[in-house]
Chains A and B, each alone.
Chain A
C-alpha cells in the first residue's frame, strides 16, 4: 500500500466507510498483532489488544495528521493499548506466564527431540538475556530486530530522539553479545 492509498483509505474511514475500515484493518492487523504480542507475549491477549488498538485509532482518526507516517501513528497507539493491558496483569501472573512460555516454545518444522532440546535451551537463554535488558533497552531491540523498523520509525513510535534509539540499541547489542558469548 503506497502513500496515496493509505491517505485515501484514512479519508474513507473518517467518513465511516466500513469497507475501507476492513481494508485498513486487514492491511495492518498482522503488524499490530505482532507488536502487541511482543509486549504481551500471549496470543489471546494480543488479539484483544489489537482490537482495542484499531477501535482506538479509528475513533481518533481526526487527530492523525495527513502526510505523517500512519504506521508509526498506529503503532504508537497499539503500543499503548498493549502496555495498558500489561499493566493490568499482576506481576506474579506475568511471571508464571513467562516461565511457562519459555518451556512451551514450539518449533515449526517438527525437528528431532534432540534439536528441540538444544533449540529450547538457546531460546530460553536469549529470552532470559533479553529480559535482563529492561524495557528501556528491550523494546528498541525488539522493534529493530523483530519488527525490522528503521531507527526513525522507532524514534517516532517510542517518542524518543533517534540518537537515543541508536545508543540504546548499541548498548543493548553489546550487552546481549556479552551475555550470549561470541561462539558460533
Chain B
C-alpha cells in the first residue's frame, strides 16, 4: 500500500466525515493517522465542531413535539380535491353555471378586447404542474380566488406567478398580508418582475425566457440563437429562442446538466444516478428526437467536459477535473481512459481551474484549501504541470479566506483574474503572470457570495456582476478597464447575471421579486441587450 502524504490524508479526512471511504483509502488513512499527531488533531477538531453543532441543535429542536390534527388535514385535503373536481368536471348543480359560462365564452370570442382581459392569467401559469406550490393552479384559474385553509399570501402569489406586494395593493390588505379562510381575493395581472422597471433611456424591456420557476442556468447553442433552460418546477430541460418564443420541452429526463455538441446538432444530458456517484449521458436532437444513451467512454468524456469543474489541456489530449466531492485534482485521457490523480495534490477543496498556455508551457490555475496551514488558508495558485501529472512548480498568487474560495474568475483567455475580497469592497483585477498588483475595477459593494456570479463576456472585454448598492441586487456591467459602468435598475426584485450570449451582445439574468431580504416569487430568467442598460453614476477611477 502506498503511503499517504499529509495532504492526501487531510483530503480523505474531509470526505470520510461526509460519505465514508473505500476500504483501501480507509486502511491508508488509518495507517497515516497512527503516526501523524497533527492529522489526529485535525480529525478531533472537525469532529468536535460537528458534535457541538449536533448537540446544540438537538438541545434546541429535539424537545418540542409536533401538534397536528388529522381532522384538519383530512378536511384540507377534501377541500383541495373538491375544488379540483369542481373546476374539472361539471356536477349537476354546477351544470347550469357552466352552460352560462360557455355562452359568455362564445360571445367573448367575437370580442378580442374581452379575451385580452382574461387571457394573461392563463398564459403565465407553469406548463407542467408544480409539485410544491399551494394552491395547485387549476386548468382555468379564476381571476377571483377564494382563500382556503393553509393558504398564505406567498403561496397564492407563487401559484399565480404574481408578487405578494401586488396582492396587498389590489386587495387592500394589511402590510403583513393576513388572510382568512373564505376571503375573496382579486388576482392581479401577473407582473413580469423586471418589466416593472421603466427608466429613462431604457427603450426595451427584457425578454422573458421560459415560464414558471427556472433555475439560474442557461446553455447557449453554438450559433447563439437558442438556449437550453432548466425548469425548477419539474427539473426538465426546455429549449427557447433568443427572442423568448418557441418554448418546447427537450425530453422527459430529469437531470442536472445539458450541453450542446460543438456543431449544435445534439444536446447531451448528464444524469447523475442518485446515491451512486455515477452518471448516465444521453444525446438528444434539439427537436427532442433521437434520444439515445451514450456508450460509457463517451459518457465519461462528456461528463468530465461539462459536469464537474474541468478543463481541456491546450493540446486537447487530456482533461483535468476535480472529483465530484471537490477533493483532489485528476487527469483523464480524452477518450475517458487512464484516470490518474495529479501527483502531490497539495490542496483540498479545489474549486475552479483553468489550463492555459504561456511561454513556459502549460499551467493550471485553481483555488484550493491548504490544509497544512490549520485549514484556514485558501489561495489562488498557478501551477506548472507536466502531462504525467507532476507539479513542476507552484506559485501562490493571492491568499484568500475560506469563504472567498469561490469568489474569483479567470478571463476567457486565462490571462487575467478578477476577484472579490471579503474586505474591502469592490472587484479587483490582476494579471495572472507577473501579478501582485490588484487594480480596483469598481468600488460598488459586492459580497464574496455574489461573486460566484461574476461573468466575463466571451471576448473578455466586459464583466457582469450584481450589487445590492441600491437596496436589492441589480445587474451591472463594467468594462475590463474599469470604465463604462452600466446597470439595470429594478427596485423590488433581485437580479443576478447568468450568462452572456456567445456574441457578447446580450446578457441573461435571473430575477426574483423580494420583500425586504426574502424572495417572494419564483426565479424567472430574462435576456437583455447590453446596449439597453442604463449608465450608472460617474465612471469610477481605476485605482490601486
The verdict on A8 contacting chain B, using a C-beta distance below 8 Å, is no
B81:A16 contact, CB within 8 angstroms: yes
Give the complex CA separation of A56 and B325 in angstroms: 34
B326 & A166 in contact (Cβ 8 Å cutoff): yes
CA distance A177 to B46 in the complex (A): 7
Tell me which residues across on chain B come within 8 A of A34, comparing CB atoms. 61-62
- List chain A residues, Cβ under 8 A from B80: 55, 58-59
Number of interface residues of A (CB under 8 A): 83
Mark contacts of A130-157 with chain B using CB atoms, 8 A cut-off: 1 yes-contact digit, 0 otherwise. 1000101000011011100011100110
Q: Are B66 and A73 touching (Cβ within 8 A)? A: no
Interface-side segment among B132-140, B261-269, B336-344: B132-140
Contact residue among B136, B177, B272 (Cβ-Cβ distance under 8 Å from A162): B272
CB-CB under 8 A from B449, the residues of chain A are 134, 136
With known contacts A59-B136, A73-B131, A46–B53 Cβ distance under 8 A: no
Please, what's the 1-or-0 string for A154-183, where 1 marks a CB less than 8 Å from any CB in chain B?
Answer: 011001011100110111011111101010
A39-60 at interface with B (beta carbon < 8 Å): 41, 43-44, 46-47, 50-52, 54-56, 58-60
Which A residues are CB-close (under 8 A) to B48?
180, 182, 184
Number of interchain pairs (Cβ within 8 Å):
213
Cβ contacts under 8 Å, A38 to chain B: 57, 61
Q: Let me know if B275 is at the binding interface, CB within 8 A.
A: yes
- A85: min CB distance to chain B, Å: 7
Residue B95 interfacial (CB < 8 Å): no
Instruction: Digitize B250-294: 1 where CB-to-A-CB distance is under 8 Å, 0 elsewhere.
Output: 000000100000000000000010110000000000000000000
> Which chain B residues in 42-90 approach chain A with CB under 8 Å?
44-46, 48-50, 52-70, 72-74, 76-77, 80-81, 84
Q: Which A residues touch B376, using CB under 8 A? A: 174, 178
B375: Cβ under 8 A from any A Cβ: yes
Q: B515 an interface residue at 8 Å Cβ cutoff?
A: yes
Judged by a CB distance under 8 angstroms, whether A30 is at the interface is yes
Shortest CB distance B310–A (Å): 11
B311 CB, nearest partner CB in chain A, Å: 16
Partner pick for B69 among A51, A85, A151, A162, CB 8 A cutoff: A51
Nearest CB to that of B50 among chain A residues? A145
Q: Does B154 contact A (CB under 8 A)?
A: yes
CB–CB A47/B66 < 8 A: yes
Q: Are B74 and A18 in contact, CB atoms less than 8 angstroms apart?
A: yes
**A45 to B158 Cα, complex, angstroms:** 20
CB–CB A87/B66 < 8 A: no
Measured in the bound complex, the distance between the Cα atoms of B65 and A43 in whole Å is 7
Q: Assess whether A119 is in contact with B150, with CB atoms less than 8 Å apart.
A: no
Contact B324 A163 (CB under 8 A): yes
**Which residues of B sit under 8 angstroms from A176, Cβ to Cβ?**
49, 53
When the two chains form their complex, are residues B150 and A127 in contact, meaning their CB atoms are under 8 A apart?
no
Partner of A177, one of B45, B60, B152, B326: B45
Asked if A119 contacts B18 (CB within 8 A), the reply is no
Residues of A within 8 A of B50 (CB): 145, 173
Given A29-B68, A37-B64, A169-B18, also A77-B326 (CB < 8 A): no
- Least Cβ distance of B227 to chain A in Å? 19
Closest residue of B by beta carbon distance from A13: B77
Q: Which residues of A contact B56 (CB under 8 A)?
A: 122-123, 126-127, 130
| A182: B residues at CB distance < 8 A | 41, 44-45, 48, 374
Decide: B256 and A161 in contact? CB cutoff 8 A.
yes
Q: Which of B202-210, B435-443, B516-524 makes up part of the contact surface?
A: B516-524
- Please state if B68 and A84 are interface contacts (CB–CB under 8 Å): no
Interface contact B517-A122, CB-CB below 8 Å: no
Q: Is the Cβ of B66 less than 8 Å from the Cβ of A170?
A: no
Q: Which residues of A contact B59 (CB under 8 A)?
A: 105-108, 119, 123
Chain B CB within 8 A of A22 CB: yes
Question: B75 — nearest CB in chain A belongs to which residue?
Answer: A55
B49 lies within 8 A of A177 (CB): yes
Does A9 lie at the interface of the complex (its beta carbon under 8 Å from any beta carbon of B)? no
The reply to whether A151 and B53 form a contact with Cβ atoms under 8 Å apart is no
Are A174 and B402 in contact, with the CB atoms below 8 A?
Answer: yes
A145 lies within 8 A of B57 (CB)? yes
Contacts of A77 in B (CB 8 A): 131-132
B18 touches A84 (CB 8 A): no
Are A170 and B60 touching (Cβ within 8 A)?
A: no
Q: How far is the CA of A181 from the CA of B65 in the complex (A)?
A: 33
Given contacts A91-B517, A146-B54, contact A84 B152 (CB under 8 A): yes
Determine the residue in chain A with the shortest Cβ distance to B153. A88
Tell which of B44, B64, B84 touches A184, judged by Cβ atoms closer than 8 Å.
B44
Residue of B nearest to A35 (CB): B61
Contact across chains for B68 and A173 when beta carbons are under 8 A apart: no
B141 CB, min distance to chain A CBs, angstroms: 16
A55-B80, A119-B59, A151-B18 known; A178 vs B402 contact (CB < 8 Å) = yes
Interface string of B11-55 (1 = CB under 8 A from A): 000100111000000000000000000000100111011101111
Residues of B within 8 A of A73 (CB): 131
| Segment 61-113 of A: residues with Cβ below 8 Å from B | 62-64, 69, 73, 76-77, 80-81, 84-88, 90-91, 101, 105-108
How near does chain B come to A42, taking the closest CB pair, in angstroms? Answer: 9
**B351 proximity list for chain A (CB < 8 A):** 167
B4 lies within 8 A of chain A by Cβ: no
Cα separation A46 to B56 with both chains bound (whole Å): 19
Closest chain B residue, CB of each to CB of A63? B131
Pairs A–B under 8 Å by Cβ, sample size 21: A25-B70, A34-B62, A41-B60, A56-B150, A63-B130, A80-B132, A87-B515, A87-B518, A119-B59, A123-B55, A130-B53, A134-B449, A146-B53, A146-B54, A146-B58, A151-B18, A163-B324, A171-B403, A173-B14, A174-B349, A178-B376
Q: List residues of chain A with CB under 8 Å of any chain B CB.
A: 16, 18, 21-22, 25, 29-30, 32-34, 37-38, 41, 43-44, 46-47, 50-52, 54-56, 58-60, 62-64, 69, 73, 76-77, 80-81, 84-88, 90-91, 101, 105-108, 119, 122-123, 126-127, 130, 134, 136, 141-142, 144-146, 150-152, 155-156, 159, 161-163, 166-167, 169-171, 173-178, 180, 182, 184
Known contacts A60-B129, A62-B129, A180-B52; 17 additional CB pairs below 8 A are: A25-B70, A43-B64, A50-B68, A55-B150, A59-B136, A76-B131, A80-B132, A84-B152, A84-B155, A86-B518, A88-B153, A108-B63, A155-B274, A159-B215, A170-B18, A171-B403, A173-B49
Q: Which 8 A-B pairs have the closest CB atoms?
A: A43-B64, A55-B76, A33-B66, A59-B80, A182-B45, A126-B56, A84-B154, A146-B57
